[in-house]
Amino acid sequence: MSLIQLSAGELLDRLNSGQTTAVDVATAFLTRIEAKDFQIQAFLRVDREGALAAAESVDRRRRQNQPVGPLAGLPVAVKDLLCARGELTTCGSKILANFRPPYDSTVVEKLRAADAILIGRTNMDEFAMGGSNENSAYFPTRNPWNLDCIPGGSSGGAAACVAAGMAPLSIGSDTGGSIRQPAALCGVTGLKPTYGRVSRYGLVAFASSLDQVGPLARTAQDVALLLDVIAGHDPRDATSIPAPSPPYLRSIEQPLSGLRIGLVREHFGPGLDSEVESAVREACRVYESLGAKISEISLPHGKYAVATYYIIAPCEASSNLARYDGVHYGHRSDESAIHEALERDRRQLVAAGQSEKAEQLDNVLVRMYRRSRAEGFGPEVKRRIMLGAYALSAGYYDAFYLKALKVRRLIRQDFDRAFEQVDLIAGPVTATPAFKLGEKSGDPLAMYLVDLYTVSANLAGLPGISLPCGFSAEGLPIGLQLQAPPLQEERLLRAAHMFQSVTDWHGRRPRE
Ligand code: GLN
């Protein structure tokens, strides 16, 4: 079996036993990227030299019997929104096209300390706003299972590169579903940890009360391996949970006995594709055969989740993105052109006898801010900034933002009540398998509705995992979502591993 087909765990065994080297592993994945990524376009940048140098260093230390980290020699692809010192970090946006952060994010720092091989940066929807990768300012990524389809988003590059065998592990982020949804649509396993479980220090912020970083891989076991490295308290992130993180991989093989799984009544309404529904119901039968008890539960406020999310997330985004002004950060519009345009406007007004109006023209600085933002942000990001600024403005704040915060609390209370009856909630990740490129890009509302099953976990701060549970007749992957109470990542991973021990959906590969 070639190296790129092995799981991260299997690769690690071979590396540790001397059957292969980190340079061989890195070379195998780099070669795969060269052969495949021109079609998929999962990577914005591939760091061949950096990866090979890091791999050589790992091999040298292994040869000399020096200690190496827990991911020593494993390639990891990182979504392009985690700061890496001196390296481009664009967040899928033109406004950050030249941004080289002066520091490492905590997650990147932990990956380096674990001796992971940082192989490249993956494509994403601009500022993580989107669910199809079509909002990337650079190019759309394609689904490895069908190149005419979207890979999901916003961590579409991170999911597609794992599905296509271009990296065994990747890092994504999830504000409203951006790890789970692309994992489902690309047939890989992806975990959104509890809010605050993984440090957000050095993560380019989208919506700070919802953002969470997390791992993607083929199997729950590999997800646990990566989560072990990135999880934990970080004093540099004020929202980081000051609780120790248990060793996820070590416990993953312990099956859960007497598992109580809830199916949400409201999840199985109109709009849910019948193939997705039957794959999810079949997955529940698998759990039943493993001894789990399935019951029906209700999350009555879930129907407001998308509306609530699309108030809160844009409000926070409009505030977070105010920093991109062409002065502190990011793209700056051509100042001399602005200067000339201003002078021209002024002369025209004066010549027309309107010197008072000429006096009132915005100065160069204000024009520069405006032009820089107009040129640097794409249409979806502008739409969200406008929505957020509107919902936060005097007179609308109470009706929109404050109301949304109250509904958010009700959504969280629904979960608290449900978790008195069940240990896990199971359901679909998406209503349909991957759709075609361009199918929804002209219809923002249709795009927002894609997030129906995922945004609640972010609003409530809960962990959730997506794992492959079937395929559509057209051969597109279908995901199963499991959700757990806060800080129960261990339960999610053990349950996902139970499923993957008796099924092989996660083992399927796209046809070459
Ligand atoms: N699709 C959602 C959005 O567009 C979620 C994005 C995310 O989780 N980053 O906001």
Res 476: pLDDT: 98
Quote the CA–CA distance of 428 and 436 in Å, as a whole number: 20
Pairing of strands 189-192, 213-217: antiparallel
CA of 454 to the centre of ligand 1 (A): 9
Mean pLDDT, range 1-18, rounded to an integer:
95
Residue 146 clears pLDDT 90, i.e. is over it = yes
CA 316 / ligand 1 centre spacing (Å): 13
Phi first, then psi: give them for residue 143, nearest 5 degrees. -80, 125
Hey, which of 80, 93, 154 would you mutate to test ligand 1's pocket, going by the most ligand atoms within 8 Å of its Cβ?
Answer: 154
Q: Model confidence at 491, in pLDDT bands (50, 70, 90)?
A: very high
Instruction: Copy the structure tokens of residue 362.
Output: 């915005």
Closest among 225, 279, 299 to 499, alpha carbons compared: 279
The DSSP element (H or E) to which 118 belongs, if any, is strand 117-122
Q: Which atom of ligand 1 is nearest to the CA of 153?
A: 1
Residue of 178, 318, 372, 466 marked catalytic: 178
pLDDT of residue 335: 84
Residues 369, 331: Cα–Cα separation, whole Å? 10
Q: Would you state the pLDDT for residue 343?
A: 92
Cα 142 to Cα 132: distance, rounded to the nearest angstrom: 9
Q: Which ligand 1 atom is the nearest neighbour of the CA of 177?
A: 8
Domain 3-301+418-507 belongs in CATH node 3.20.20.80: no
Expressed in angstroms and rounded, the spacing between residue 206 Cα and the centre of ligand 1 is: 9
- Give the closest residue (by CA) to ligand 1 atom 4: 130
Judge whether 302 and 266 are in contact, CB under 8 Å: yes
- Of 471, 408, 147, 44, which is closest to residue 280 (Cα–Cα)? 471
pLDDT band at 323 (very low <50, low <70, confident <90, very high): very high
**Model confidence pLDDT, tens digit, residues 191-244:** 999 999 999 999 999 999 999 999 999 999 999 999 999 999 999 999 999 999
* Lowest-confidence segment of 324-338, 429-443, 487-501 by average pLDDT: 324-338
Residues of the chain with CATH 3.90.1300.10: 3-301+418-507
Q: Which atom of ligand 1 is nearest to the CA of 129?
A: 4
Residue 1 has pLDDT above 80, yes or no: no
178 included as an active-site residue: yes
Mutating to test ligand 1, I would choose from 81, 82, 126, 129 the residue with most ligand atoms within 8 A of its C-beta, which is 129
**pLDDT, average across residues 391-420:** 97
pLDDT at 359: 87
Q: Could you give the CA distance from residue 185 to residue 166 in angstroms, rounded to a whole number?
A: 17
Helix (H, G, I), strand (E, B) or coil at 277: helix
Model confidence at 55: pLDDT above 90: yes
Query: 16: Cβ–Cβ under 8 A, 6 or more apart, which residues?
Result: 72
Which residues' Cβ are closer than 6 Å to ligand 1?
A: 128-131, 154, 174-178, 206, 313, 451
Which of 154, 173, 318, 441 is catalytic? The answer is: 154
Ligand 1 centroid, distance to 192 Cα (angstroms): 13
C-alpha of residue 240 to centroid of ligand 1, in Å: 21
Report which ligand 1 atom has the smallest distance to the Cα of 310.
10
For a pLDDT cut of 90, what percent of the chain falls above it?
Answer: 94
Task: Please give the number of the atom of ligand 1 that sits closest to the Cα of 313.
Answer: 10
Distance 450 CA to ligand 1 centre (A): 10
Residue 291: CB atoms within 10 A of its CB come to 12
**Ligand 1 atom having least distance to the Cα of 450:** 1
Ligand 1 pocket mutation, candidates 125, 309, 440, 445, criterion most atoms within 8 A of CB: 125
pLDDT at 363: 85
179 CA distance to ligand 1 middle (Å): 9
- Other beta carbons within 10 Å of 282: 14
Over its C-alpha atoms, the chain yields an Rg (Å, rounded) of 23
Q: Sheet harboring 75-79: ordered strands across?
A: 43-46, 117-122, 75-79, 169-173, 213-217, 189-192, 464-471, 477-483, 424-428, 260-264, 293-297
pLDDT(112) > 90? yes
Report pTM.
0.97
> Across the chain, what does the average pLDDT equal?
96
Determine the pLDDT at residue 185: 98
Mutational test site, ligand 1, from 451, 454, 455, 466, max ligand atoms within 8 Å of CB: 451
- Per the listing, tokens 């195998």 go with 28
Catalytic residue, chosen from 7, 36, 79, 170, is 79
Cα dist. 45→64, 263, 311 in Å?
Answer: 32, 41, 33
Is residue 207 within 8 A of residue 173, CB to CB? The reply is no
The residues pairing with 79 across neighbouring beta strands, listed in sequence order, are 122
Q: What percent of the chain has pLDDT over 70?
A: 100
| Across 140-146, average pLDDT | 98
Q: How do 213-217 and 293-297 pair as beta strands?
A: unpaired
- CA–centroid distance, 447 to ligand 1, in Å, is 10
Residue 29 has pLDDT above 90, yes or no: yes
For residues 11-21, give the mean pLDDT: 97
